[in-house]
Amino acid sequence: MSKIGYIRVSIERQETARQQEIMCEYQVDRIFSEKLSGAIADRPQLKAILDYVREGDTLYVESISRLGRSTRDLLNIIDTLNNKGVTLISHKESIDTDTPTGKFMLTVFAALSQLEREQLKQRQREGIEIAKAQGKYTGRKPIPIDWDRFGKLYWEWKAKNITGRDFMRRMELSANTFYRRVREYEIRNGITEPTSA
């Protein structure tokens, strides 16, 4: 049975000293640490922990917000730990998932954490709307595109000489932006045939 610690801060300049101190208090055997936003589900060190832990192990965190920001992500992590027979202890919230009360409290805290995040997003959206109404916010500027190069690749793609993925990679476009640009190009050039994938 091992004691595992997980330390996470959102940005590079944040300090981990407080979390490290807590891990020392718990006398953990091994610490996994990373500097990534909790909103990112695919975190290498978190994945490493979930692969590493075994039945009977205990995972220690400073706060449940260190594990995940959304209720869904957090509960998926908890399910994984439960299925492996691993106990989670969260210092800040005094949660121990080895107890029924701890499991219930974890669900409540996760929901509150997500509510707080959603409220922050709502306030940001409201702030943007106010700024727009006052003419102070214009949004992101569109990314300029080389239509000549796009056109050459478009016809290569239509002739099936390159794949859509190659096209996106060469133009450095995401899938959504790629298809939006294809529609735009077809409208600009009066192309009415259906777009192939």
Which candidate in 10, 33, 63, 70 is catalytic? 10
Q: Verify whether residue 113 is a known catalytic residue.
A: no
CA distance 106 to 59: 14
* Residues designated catalytic: 10
